[in-house]
């Protein structure tokens, strides 16, 4: 019993030191002792272990403050390979990432036209394609998947997009690859990416809203991802926002994602195709309008698409006003190809609606911005999950 406690303390101290080396970029052993309150002997012993594991390296001497100049330590970013997988976009997207979130290799598998193939087989195909590209010991496989996920057990409880119910995805992957596996909802992973590798590193309170085929969010409160009662926190796509008679795939009407997702705008723009001279010049039929065509047409000055983007901004603004009132969060980061590709069409109207519909003191302080992590946001979040689970880095 006592031994177990000592081991736990040692593991805790080791994670603490690793976290400090990670956060400080370069730091000396003496500085680590001062910051943690641990003895220099304890610090030296644990640092020696971290150096032996090649997670930490010595990088030269720092400035002297009287005596011998101290040796500086830093994370060896390429000492581990992390496999990140995103199952939420129109193709399965994967990457090999290092400990600083730098993408070393990308691999994607399109999903179009093979409805009869089990998506799980495609996940295996993707991981099989990524594994040989790892140039250092593999920390594990992180997965961001759409749907309701029990991330503690690695079970996808329900995913409409992938037609999975109670799929033990984590256990399946562990059995096949004999590696640690983390599974989380894609939007929760995106939020973790933003606070680990994004422009909002270590921001204690924020919401990352991902607008794709569906809409979801990851909520970070007091530096921790908020999972809710059973890991489903942040499912804002099914907040009822509109009294329009628009069916949502959840079975209800007027949900946020039914009126403001990229699928929602595509459907409306395709239906109004003939009234857009810009679109008609770019493609021949409504069926050819995909998200990229839509974004290109917007930048070419299409007024139909501008009004549709404003409409999406308005609905997002209603949702944001509600979120701000409940959580008193002052920053929302938007992710997903549509909002990143056409942010100036969406964000001004989102701001306007949010200001009009929330208490002055709450709404006026709000900052909306787009993530700079682009299409890698979920794979980076999946990698961050692994760093948290396997190395204790948050
Ligand atoms: Zn719904």
Tens-place pLDDT, residues 181-190: 999 999 999 9
Tens-place pLDDT, residues 47-56: 999 999 999 9
Give the Å distance between the CA of 225 and the centre of ligand 1.
23
Give the Å distance between the CA of 178 and the centre of ligand 1.
37
Give the Å distance between the CA of 319 and the centre of ligand 1.
13
Give the Å distance between the CA of 252 and the centre of ligand 1.
5
Residue 267, sorted as left (phi over 0), alpha (psi -120 to 50) or beta, turns out to be alpha
Show the beta-strand stretches assigned E in the chain: 27-28, 56-61, 71-75, 81-86, 91-97, 103-110, 138-145, 148-150, 155-159, 164-167, 181-185, 206-211, 215-221, 224-225, 331-335, 367-370
Q: Would the pLDDT of 1 be above 60?
A: no
pLDDT of 76 reads 96
**Nearest of 364, 284, 294 to residue 324 by alpha carbon:** 364
pLDDT of 114 reads 62
Give the Å distance between the CA of 315 and the centre of ligand 1.
14
Q: Are 315 and 322 in contact (CB under 8 A)?
A: no
- Is 319 buried (19+), middle (13-18) or exposed (0-12) by CB count in 10 A? buried
What global pTM score does this model have? 0.91
Give the Å distance between the CA of 257 and the centre of ligand 1.
7
In the structure, ligand 1 is a single-atom ion and the residues with CB under 5 Å from it are: 238, 248, 250, 252, 255
CA distance 102 to 159: 29
Radius of gyration of the chain (CA): 23
Tens-place pLDDT, residues 30-52: 999 999 999 999 999 999 999 99
Give the Å distance between the CA of 301 and the centre of ligand 1.
32
Q: What average pLDDT does the segment 149-172 reach? A: 92
Give the Å distance between the CA of 238 and the centre of ligand 1.
4
Give the Å distance between the CA of 10 and the centre of ligand 1.
47
Give the Å distance between the CA of 240 and the centre of ligand 1.
7
Tens-place pLDDT, residues 300-328: 999 999 999 999 999 999 999 999 989 98
């Amino acid at each position: 019993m006592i031994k177990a406690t000592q081991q736990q303390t040692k593991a805790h101290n080791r994670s603490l030191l690793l976290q400090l080396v990670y956060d400080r970029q370069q730091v000396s052993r003496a500085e680590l002792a001062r910051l943690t309150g641990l003895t220099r002997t304890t610090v030296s012993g644990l640092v020696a272990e971290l150096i032996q594991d090649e997670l930490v390296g010595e990088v030269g001497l720092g400035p002297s403050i009287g005596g011998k100049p101290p040796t500086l330590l830093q994370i060896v970013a390429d000492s581990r390979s992390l496999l990140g997988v995103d199952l939420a976009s129109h193709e399965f997207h994967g990457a090999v990432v290092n400990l600083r979130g730098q993408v070393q290799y990308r691999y994607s598998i399109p999903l179009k036209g093979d409805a009869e193939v089990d998506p799980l087989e495609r996940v295996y195909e993707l991981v099989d394609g990524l594994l040989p590209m790892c140039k250092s010991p593999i920390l594990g496989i992180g997965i961001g998947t759409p749907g309701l996920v029990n991330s503690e057990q690695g079970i996808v409880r329900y995913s409409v997009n992938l037609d999975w119910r109670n799929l033990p995805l984590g256990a399946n992957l562990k059995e096949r690859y004999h590696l640690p596996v983390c599974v989380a909802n894609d939007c929760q992973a995106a939020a973790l990416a933003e606070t680990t590798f994004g422009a909002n590193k270590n921001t204690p309170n924020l919401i990352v809203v991902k607008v794709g085929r569906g809409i979801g969010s990851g909520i970070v409160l007091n530096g921790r991802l908020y999972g809710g009662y059973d890991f489903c926190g942040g499912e804002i796509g099914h907040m009822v926002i509109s009294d329009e008679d628009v069916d949502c795939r959840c079975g209800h009407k007027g949900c946020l994602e039914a009126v403001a997702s990229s699928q929602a705008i595509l459907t409306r723009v395709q239906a109004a195709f003939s009234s857009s001279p810009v679109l008609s010049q770019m493609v021949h039929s409504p069926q050819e309008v995909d998200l990229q065509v839509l974004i290109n047409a917007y930048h070419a000055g299409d007024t139909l698409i501008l009004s549709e983007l404003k409409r999406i901004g308005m609905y997002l603004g209603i949702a944001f006003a509600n979120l701000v009132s409940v959580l008193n969060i002052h920053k929302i980061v938007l992710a997903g190809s549509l909002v990143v590709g056409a942010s100036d069409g969406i964000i001004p109207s989102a701001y306007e609606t949010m200001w009009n519909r929330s208490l002055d003191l709450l709404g006026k302080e709000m900052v909306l911005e787009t993530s700079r992590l682009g299409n890698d946001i979920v794979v980076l979040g999946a990698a961050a999950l692994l760093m948290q689970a396997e190395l204790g880095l948050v």
